[in-house]
Amino acid sequence: MTLRIYNDLHHKKENFEPLEPGKVRMYVCGMTVYDYCHLGHARVVVVFDVVYRYLKARGYEVTYVRNITDIDDKIIQRANEQGIPFHQLTKKFIDAMHEDFDALGVLRPTMEPRATEHLEEIIRMIQALIDKGHAYQAENGDVYYDVRSFPEYGKLSGKSIDDLEAGARVEPGEGKRDPLDFALWKAAKPGEPAWDSPWGKGRPGWHIECSAMSTSALGDTFDIHGGGADLTFPHHENEIAQSEGATGHPFVRYWMHNGFVRVKEEKMSKSLGNFFTIRDILARFRPEEVRYFILTSHYRSPLNYDEEHLVNARKALDRLYTALRGLPQAEPGEADKYVEAFNAAMDDDFNTPEALAVLFELVREINRVRPENEEKAARMAAELKRLGDILGILQEEPEAWLKGAPSGSEGLTDEQIEALIQQRLEARKAKNWSEADRIRDELKAQGIVLEDSPQGTTWRRE
RNA sequence: GGCCUGGUGGCAGAGUGGUUAUGCAGCGGCCUGCAAAGCCGUGUACCUCGGUUCGACUCCGGGCCAGGCCUCCA
């Protein structure tokens, strides 16, 4: 079977063939760290975390690079507002970002390069662009990319230079030869953080850092470049112009962009102010619920944020964990049909909704088999858990999950619940059904669901 | 204005030229002291108008609607 990936460069699914057999080099645009991450950021990192996990599960050796933009206009502005050095601000939000992503079960990338630690590569690439006639220094000291010098400009976003030209704005005092030209190096203004360069003190533009860090880590040409769909233009278009202009080699083989998170049919974004930070959401929902919710829609489709959907995610996960509950440890097996279907779904451009559907089909089979053949059910359950791991779910102890309370909730302790269950057991022995039902109703009112079986009574929080 | 996505059942959300998505919710049954969980069964669907086809939700064209990019944005 062949893995197929929707390549945004050609607007179609293509067979995935890495540059070097058995190895995958992948770069994803990470965060600009001037604030807490919101659900839109969570989607990018979860989506590409699943890509990373699946490629590894498929046997590839994956080098996964996700950068951190730790110097830019917004960072400087925010640091000035707070009266602190910019690196103090970025440290705070890098730490917060790691906390959030770790909570969501996102594996750390192979490398997390920061712009401020790669000035040398950035400067070298800008110099190469100047040497090859793709860039120039303007009178104000800034260095700009000469878009007209790169005939293929627009090939990723499907825009023509002339169309862009019509709508382009010219900011006064920028010194660009052409309104479409973009800054590679920004000359320092008084009081701004600055680094030495052949063009005087200044700092790198946003686009060049990704080109420099990706190619220095992964080579002139690498396999996958990902990011949010809003980066297609101009960020990724500019990356292509910079990297191919500087190296003379093709830059990226497969471009992948994930769709937006929406709130009431509108893009969730900082500028619209309709965003929910990851930590806001994790105060009310468990990380795995958020992760599951993200994976219920295909990565290129829009994802509508709504608390009801998180509640639904919880119920769906309950069903998966219920199938795992109470089965002995076993080696994965007896589920080849489902494993094949799962892989087929993932091979089809990482179709996680389809892959999840396969998991539920496997669950039904486990529940059917369990009464007759617990050993077999256990092997199938182990397979379910292994597949879940590829999506980054189902790794908790089923009992712990099912008894787990939603974040931030209060209520009865486990001990109080167990005590009430004991009381009810006594009542049931005495066939005092009304008392038994009273206790069960009382617990139900507290969000505790009891389940009687021949093996005894189990409970869970709903 | 230019360019790009998408419009599926009560909700969410895949997919396919003629056959059950899946989850939640609903309904009937089994199980249960009664429930819950689970299992079995079941209903509601493919924006609109044309076209291609033996046959289209699925392909093509128009329309309507929604979202996005064209400026920082994951």
Q: What is the mean pLDDT of residues A350-366?
A: 97
Please give the pLDDT value at position A170: 55
Residue showing tokens 């293509």: A14
* A405-434 pLDDT per residue, tens: 765 567 889 999 999 999 999 999 999 999
Please give the pLDDT value at position A171: 59
Please give the pLDDT value at position A281: 96
Residue showing tokens 């600055």: A194
Q: How far is the CA of A432 from the C1' of B33 (A)?
A: 10
> What does the mean pLDDT of chain A come to?
94
Q: What is the mean pLDDT of residues A427-449?
A: 95
How distant is the alpha carbon of residue A334 from its chain centre? 32
Residue nearest to nucleotide B6 (CA to C1'): A301
Determine the nucleotide nearest to A45 by Cα–C1' distance. B74
d(CA A126, CA A209): 10
d(CA A55, CA A379): 24
Q: How far is the CA of A387 from the C1' of B33 (A)?
A: 40
Token pair for A19: 């540059």
d(CA A319, CA A358): 13
Q: How far is the CA of A326 from the C1' of B40 (A)?
A: 23
Q: Is the pLDDT of residue A440 over 60?
A: yes
How distant is the alpha carbon of residue A269 from its chain centre? 16
Token pair for A408: 């931030």
Peptide bond between residue A234 and the one before it cis (omega within 30 degrees of 0): yes
Please give the pLDDT value at position A158: 87
Please give the pLDDT value at position A373: 96
Q: What is the mean pLDDT of residues A165-173?
A: 61
d(CA A191, CA A189): 6
Determine the nucleotide nearest to A165 by Cα–C1' distance. B70
Confidence band (pLDDT; 50, 70, 90) for A160?
Answer: confident
> Is residue A32 within 8 Å of A21, Cβ to Cβ?
no
Please give the pLDDT value at position A107: 98
> Is residue A336 within 8 Å of A40, Cβ to Cβ?
no
Q: What is the mean pLDDT of residues A11-17?
A: 93
Residue showing tokens 């795992």: A324
Determine the nucleotide nearest to A358 by Cα–C1' distance. B22
d(CA A414, CA A459): 10
**A166/A420: higher pLDDT:** A420
Please give the pLDDT value at position A179: 87
Determine the nucleotide nearest to A158 by Cα–C1' distance. B3
* A69-110 pLDDT per residue, tens: 999 999 999 999 999 999 999 999 999 999 999 999 999 999
Q: How far is the CA of A289 from the C1' of B48 (A)?
A: 38
Token pair for A139: 């009178």
Q: How far is the CA of A30 from the C1' of B9 (A)?
A: 39
Burial of residue A399 (number of CB atoms within 10 Å: 0-12, 13-18, 19+): middle
Q: How far is the CA of A462 from the C1' of B27 (A)?
A: 24
* A36-65 pLDDT per residue, tens: 999 999 999 999 999 999 999 999 999 999
Say what percent of chain A tops pLDDT 90. Answer: 89
d(CA A448, CA A300): 38
Q: What is the mean pLDDT of residues A236-242?
A: 97
* A244-281 pLDDT per residue, tens: 999 999 999 999 999 999 999 899 998 888 999 999 99
d(CA A276, CA A38): 5
Determine the nucleotide nearest to A449 by Cα–C1' distance. B36
Say what percent of chain A tops pLDDT 70. Answer: 97
Handedness of CA A348, A352, A358, A362 (dihedral sign): positive
- Which nucleotides in chain B have some atom under 7 angstroms from a protein Cβ? 1-5, 11-15, 21-25, 32-40, 66-74
Residue nearest to nucleotide B39 (CA to C1'): A368
> Is residue A4 within 8 Å of A16, Cβ to Cβ?
yes
Residues in a beta bridge with A26: A64, A224
Token pair for A395: 């790794």
Q: How far is the CA of A181 from the C1' of B8 (A)?
A: 44
Token pair for A326: 């109470």
What does DSSP assign to residue A89? Answer: H
Residue nearest to nucleotide B15 (CA to C1'): A354
Q: What is the mean pLDDT of residues A368-387?
A: 97
Determine the nucleotide nearest to A353 by Cα–C1' distance. B14
Q: How far is the CA of A361 from the C1' of B46 (A)?
A: 23
Q: What is the mean pLDDT of residues A198-217?
A: 97
> Is residue A236 within 8 Å of A156, Cβ to Cβ?
yes
Residue showing tokens 């400087």: A76
Token pair for A193: 């953080």
